[in-house]
């Protein structure tokens, strides 16, 4: 009975983990693998380890305080800084929407040869249905649907590994931290932005509040279950991300045309067969549908928490579809739109992790659950790494 009770408390981290396997990850990781082989595996391993720490702290903040990170900041920041902070968070949310809708549109184009604009509209429409399931106290149903999509994503993106297994020595060589020129720094920042997602940081605290806010569970029990939830969910997400890069490095390295998802898909079909290509496209579609729903959920909480404005989530979803559809209609390169959206997300990470670590290290906010000196030191180290990568990105871009 105790085991079943613990299992029943799992779920929020798996919803947040969808943000870590969205179409932006596909673009960033396939680009990295196809161009530079196994070189940047270490970036994904480091980013995923940091993501475990960050998401655990976000969930813990929600459990202990009963408030999301945006709500906490909205109640404590002066008006002008709060508005500026909201503006950058909304830019991050918009970048997220672009990646997710564009990814779904590409998947529908690969599967059914639909024009990208129509694919984007259909992706947005299906996300509206998923978000409707989330409302009205049906959090468990939403979680199960999203977790089901997450499993489809995992199968879709990892299938190629079983048909063309990589050399373990080659994979291990990618664990040595190094770069090869400015382009690899940009890709590393893109991979970091696609792995440690700002909107997932804002969202996870919301998920636990929505799931457990009115239920009678002890904080200690919820915190313990959250550790299992986060580690399990992000191990799965990490394996998917690393698997994507390894598939590209092993099967697509040096293949012409793999600098786009469409080209990578064709290369997968040519090298691994049409069956694996179909599974990959289905995984990409599941990724777009799941992540666009989760992204809209996060964006709604950002506005509600920071501005104290409660815009219905379905209305917000309709509005935030517009920029992605415009970008597609203007003929922008879909894959590069995805990669650059992840770079923009990377720039937004410090604005999420620094307030999070401040809050979880504050005894005034967390009471006896505040992080201790060793944990605070680790959190500072994570913040330094994130900021250093972003400064490197700015230097490279200049």
- Residues 239-259: tens digit of each pLDDT: 999 999 999 999 888 777 776
Q: Please state the domain extents for the chain.
A: 12-397
Confidence of residue 298 (pLDDT cuts 50, 70, 90): confident
* Burial (0-12, 13-18, 19+ Cβ within 10 Å), 76: exposed
Q: How far apart are the first and last CA of the chain?
A: 58
* Per-chain mean pLDDT for the chain: 84
Token pair 């940047």 in the structure block, residue: 40
Model confidence at 310, pLDDT cuts 50, 70, 90, reads confident
**Which range has highest mean pLDDT (16-20, 41-45, 138-142)?**
41-45
CATH of region 12-397: 1.20.1740.10
pLDDT at 40: 93
Collect all residues with Cβ–Cβ distance below 8 Å to 294 and sequence separation of at least 6: 15, 16, 18, 19, 146, 200, 203
DSSP H helical ranges for 66-197: 69-76, 79-112, 116-134, 139-163, 168-173, 182-195
What pLDDT does 323 receive?
Answer: 80
Q: What b/e string do you get for 39-64 counting C-beta neighbours within 10 Å, with b at 16 or more?
A: bbbbbbbbbbebbbbbbbbbbbbbbb
281 confidence band (pLDDT: 50, 70, 90): very high
* pLDDT number for residue 268: 87
pTM comes to: 0.89
Phi, psi for 140 (deg, rounded to 5): -60, -40
State mean pLDDT over 283-300.
83
- What number of residues does the chain have? 398
Average pLDDT of span 269-291 = 88
Question: Which is more confidently placed, 9 or 233?
Answer: 233
């Amino acid at each position: 009975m105790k085991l079943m009770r613990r299992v029943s408390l799992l779920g929020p981290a798996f919803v947040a983990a969808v943000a870590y396997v969205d179409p932006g990850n596909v673009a960033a990781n396939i680009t990295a693998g196809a161009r530079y082989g196994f070189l940047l595996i270490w970036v994904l391993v480091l980013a995923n380890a940091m993501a475990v720490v960050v998401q655990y702290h976000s969930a813990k903040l929600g459990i202990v305080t009963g408030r999301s990170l945006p709500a906490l900041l909205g109640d404590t920041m002066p008006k002008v800084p709060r508005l500026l902070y909201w503006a950058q968070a909304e830019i991050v949310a918009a970048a997220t929407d672009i990646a997710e809708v564009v990814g779904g549109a590409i998947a529908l184009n690969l599967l059914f040869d639909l024009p990208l604009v129509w694919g984007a509209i259909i992706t947005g429409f299906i996300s509206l249905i998923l978000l409707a399931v989330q409302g009205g106290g049906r959090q468990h149903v939403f979680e199960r649907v999203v977790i089901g999509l997450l499993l489809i994503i995992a199968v879709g993106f990892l299938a190629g590994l079983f048909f063309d297994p990589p050399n373990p020595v080659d994979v291990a060589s990618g664990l040595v931290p190094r770069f090869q020129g400015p382009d690899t720094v940009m890709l590393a920042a893109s991979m970091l932005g696609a792995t440690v997602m700002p909107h997932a940081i804002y969202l996870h605290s919301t998920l636990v509040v929505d799931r457990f806010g009115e239920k009678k569970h002890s904080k200690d029990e919820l915190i313990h279950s959250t550790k299992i939830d986060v580690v399990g969910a992000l191990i799965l997400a990490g394996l998917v991300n690393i698997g994507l890069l390894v598939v590209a490095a092993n099967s697509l390295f040096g293949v012409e045309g793999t600098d786009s998802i469409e080209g990578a898909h064709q290369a997968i079909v040519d090298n691994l067969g049409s069956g694996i290509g179909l599974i990959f496209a289905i995984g990409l579609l599941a990724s777009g549908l799941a992540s666009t729903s989760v992204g809209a959920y996060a964006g709604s909480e950002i506005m509600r928490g920071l501005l104290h404005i409660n815009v219905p989530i379905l209305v917000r979803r309709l509005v935030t579809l517009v920029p992605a559809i415009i970008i597609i209609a203007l003929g922008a390169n879909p894959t590069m739109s995805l990669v650059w959206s992840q770079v923009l997300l990377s720039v937004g990470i410090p604005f999420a992790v620094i307030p999070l670590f401040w809050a979880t290290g504050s005894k005034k906010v967390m009471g006896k659950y505040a992080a201790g000196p060793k944990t605070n030191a680790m959190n500072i180290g994570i913040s330094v790494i994130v900021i250093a990568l972003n400064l490197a990105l700015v230097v490279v871009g200049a």
